[in-house]
Chain A
Amino acid sequence: MTQALPQGKLYESQKLALWYFWVALALFGAQVLFGLLAAWQYLDPGFLYGKLNFMTNRMLHINAMIVWLLLGFMGGVYWFLPLELGREVVGIRLARFAFFTLVAAVGVVVLVYLLVQYGPGNALTLWFITEGREYIEAPRWADIGIVAVMAIFLYNVVATVIRSGRITGVAAVLMFDLIALAGLYMAGMHYTPNISMDQYFWWWVVHLWVEATWEVLVGSIMAMALMHLLGTPRRIVETWLYLEVALVFGTGILGLGHHYFWIGTPEYWLGLGGFFSALEPIPLVAMVVHAVYDAGMHRMQTVNQPALFWAIAQAFGNFVGAGVWGFMQTLPQINLYSHGTQLAPAHGHLAFFGAYVTAILTAIYMALHQVRRPDLPRFDSKLWKWAFVLMVVGIFGMSAAMTVAGFTQTMVERAIGGSTWQAYIEAQTHPWFQNGMVWRFVFGVFFLISYLVLIWDLATIGKGETRAAKEVGAHD
């Protein structure tokens, strides 16, 4: 039973999606701000020392990113799901409750991170201050909250599919992916005093979320987005989604092995991890071909220009960030020297931006089109182009600077110096490393400016448009 709405009307789920998007964007700002503070502390280690240490800024920088991307994905699903299934999302009140709970929990965790920061190595710290595991430092109560919110999210999706009486390929992929998403997070809550085992399961969250379940989740959101943005037929979109799931899971799951090289796991992980990781860029190259085809078929013109450009940037960004920067350091022979250097954040910055930030911005621009001026045949502004270019230059600049610094560490500290303390100091004081850190900060400021331009554009796009839809269509 479908409940299609007239143009200009929103489902309750879509209204909720907007809340998700705005909170996500605010946390995006927090990510940039704390990242800049941490970048400055590389240049001036005494800055805010004892008040807001590097470890806290870095933790907030990374945790803000994980949470805002997650919120953006959830917003994307809440936005597109009713359009996909032609009905309101089931359990919308529960979904709202989950949203406010999640936002309140994030607020409390951030305050604890800022005001308490750390504690003794006991259960109290683990439960209420920080779990201490890199990237997923949230205290245990927040971990449980995240799983509960993901369970509600999963219920919303599954119940809506069941109630709608139709199961599309995209919805099916989404449901199975969300089960994996919620389940895998629990692997990060497993405690063992054996550090190798601890790392083994910790990577299930960090790698399998990012390089498997998130990839598929974003693939599902982009599939729904492309049907509305480009009018791509469902059969094509779903075939591509199945192909992507096969390729991403085929290479991404055992690609996990590239994190198992040096944590005390058996030696066969060198071969397994290296083999699958080396194949990971292949589907990303294939996506480039499809992106060029789609862009060319529509002559870079569509109903929503910013969404189109961010969607195309997604295919290219995913390839460059995950494919090129990933492959460069994924073979164990190289990784022995490069892991843990600035090459890792260079890869991380480009890959997260290319694969995920672009996709969420695509969804947000599409949502704003429907909210502000669904009657306009083309949703456009001048400012988004500035935000787009500045942001791409900013992220590439930061990544290039970190690549130079990481290369210096790999060579001077590891390959030439043999990882001695003296070699560490030599690498840290090497002009290539130091200049890399300076340029990382400079491009970080650049990125902050682009973020502000982006926010201004998102806040204003479509609002000043007074021309009638017919007039815009006639001129264009």
Chain B
Amino acid sequence: MTSEAVRDLMLFGMLMVSAAGFYAMFYALGRMLQRPGVVRFSYLFALLQALGALGMILPPYLDPFWKYLITFSSLVYLFVPQGMWWVVTTFHEREHAH
């Protein structure tokens, strides 16, 4: 592992997870405020999250096991905001209907 590899993995890892958080935040905010523009803005962070993952996967730094793991995590992050939003709103609607 070269020093460049360590640097790249750290920075792309940070980008991947922090962008996943911003994606979740802006997606939920857009849905909450019913602002499609904010939801679309959140997709920018989804893209950054995916780019962060690609930055870890594409270079030959990691073995296949770790590349699969990063790919899996990245795919999960792409759908966490939508999935969680559905879960949260469905829970609350059902509870208020009771």
Residues of A within 8 A of B (CB): 233, 235-236, 239, 271, 274-275, 278-279, 281-282, 284-286, 288-290, 292-293, 296-297, 316, 319-320, 323-324, 327-329, 331, 333-334, 336-338, 407, 410-411, 414-416
Question: Which B residues contact A (CB, under 8 angstroms)?
Answer: 1-3, 5-7, 9-10, 13-14, 16-18, 20-21, 24-25, 27-29, 32-33, 61-62, 65-66, 69-70, 73, 76-77, 80-81, 84-85, 88-89, 91-92, 95
With beta carbons under 8 angstroms apart, the residue of A282, A323, A337 that contacts B6 is A337
A415 cross-chain contacts in B, Cβ below 8 A: 1-3, 6-7
Given contacts A271-B65, A328-B13, A336-B1, whether A296 and B21 have CB atoms under 8 Å apart is: no
What 3 A-B pairs come out closest when comparing CB atoms? A296-B32, A415-B3, A292-B28
Neighbouring A residues of B73 by C-beta, 8 Å? 278-279, 282
B84 x A331 contact (CB < 8 A): no
A236–B10 Cα distance when bound, in Å, is 37
Are A329 and B10 in contact, with the CB atoms below 8 A? yes
Give 13 A-B contacts (CB < 8 Å), ordered by A residue.
A239-B91, A281-B17, A282-B80, A292-B25, A296-B28, A316-B21, A316-B25, A320-B21, A329-B10, A333-B61, A337-B1, A338-B10, A410-B10
Task: State the main secondary structure of chain A at its contact with B.
Answer: helix
Q: A236-B95, A333-B62, A415-B7 are in contact. Are A328 and B14 (CB under 8 A)?
A: yes
- What's the least CB distance linking B9 to chain A, in Å? 5
Cβ–Cβ contact B17 & A236, under 8 A? no
Q: Kindly state the separation between the CA atoms of A334 and B16 in the bound complex, as whole angstroms.
A: 15
Q: Choose from B1, B20, B76 the contact partner of A333 (Cβ within 8 Å).
A: B1
Q: Is the CB of A334 within 8 A of B69?
A: no
Please tell me if the beta carbons of B70 and A278 are within 8 angstroms of each other in the complex: yes
A293–B21 CB distance below 8 A = no
Chain B's closest residue to A415 (CB) is: B3
Q: Are B80 and A289 in contact (CB under 8 A)?
A: yes
Told that A289-B85, A415-B7 touch, could you supply 4 new A-B pairs with CB distance under 8 A? A271-B65, A278-B73, A289-B27, A415-B6
A385–B98 Cα gap in the complex (Å)?
A: 37
B17 touches A288 (CB 8 A): no
Given the known interface contacts A293-B32, A331-B66, A333-B62, the answer about A411 and B6 at a Cβ–Cβ threshold of 8 Å is yes
Chain A residue with Cβ nearest B61: A333
- How far is A455 from B65 in the complex, measured between Cα atoms in Å? 49
When the two chains form their complex, are residues B21 and A278 in contact, meaning their CB atoms are under 8 A apart? no
Contact A327:B6 (CB < 8 A) given known A274-B66, A290-B88, A292-B32:
no
Chain B residues with CB under 8 Å of A236's CB are 91-92, 95
A281 touches B10 (CB 8 A): no
Q: CB < 8 Å: which of B69, B77, B88 contacts A293?
A: B88
In contact, B21 and A319 (Cβ under 8 angstroms): yes
A320 to B20, CA, bound (A): 11
What residues on B are CB-neighbors of A284 within 8 Å? 21
Residues in chain B near residue A278, CB distance under 8 A: 69-70, 73
Provide the residues of chain A in CB contact with B33, threshold 8 Å.
Answer: 296
Q: How far is the CA of A296 from the CA of B26 in the complex (A)?
A: 12
* Chain A residues within an 8 Å CB radius of B25: 288-289, 292, 316
- Whether A292 lies near B29 (C-beta < 8 A) is yes
Q: How far apart are the CA atoms of A286 and B72 in the complex, in Å?
A: 16
Instruction: For A414, give the chain B residue with the smallest CB separation.
Output: B6
Q: Complex Cα distance A323/B21, Å?
A: 9
A331 vs B2: C-alpha distance when bound (angstroms):
15
**Which residue of A239, A293, A407, A411 has the most chain B CB atoms within 10 A of its CB atom?**
A293
Bound state CA distance, A60 and B7, in angstroms? 33
Tell me the minimal C-beta distance from A338 to chain B in angstroms: 7
> What residue in chain A is nearest B84 (Cβ atoms)?
A289
Which residues of the other chain, A, contact B9 by a CB distance below 8 angstroms? 331, 333-334
User: Within the complex, which residue of A274, A296, A324, A410 is in contact with B14, where a contact is CB–CB below 8 Å?
Assistant: A324
CB distance from B65 to the nearest CB of A (A): 7
CA distance A405 to B1 in the complex (A): 21
Contact of B3 among A288, A319, A411 (CB under 8 A): A411
Which residues of B sit under 8 angstroms from A293, Cβ to Cβ?
28, 32, 85, 88-89, 92
The answer to whether A233 and B95 touch (CB under 8 A), given A288-B21, A415-B7, A416-B3, is yes
A236 to B88, CA, bound (A): 9
What residues on B are CB-neighbors of A288 within 8 Å? 21, 24-25, 28
- Say yes or no: A324 contacts B17, CB within 8 Å: yes
Contact B21 A285, beta carbon cutoff 8 Å: yes
Q: Which residue of B lies closest to A329 (CB)?
A: B10
With A289-B88, A333-B66 in contact, do A328 and B17 touch (Cβ < 8 Å)? yes
Q: How far is the CA of A235 from the CA of B95 in the complex (A)?
A: 8
Query: Whole-angstrom distance from the CB of A410 to the nearest CB of chain B?
Result: 7
Residues of B near A333 (CB, < 8 A) are 1, 5-6, 9, 61-62, 66
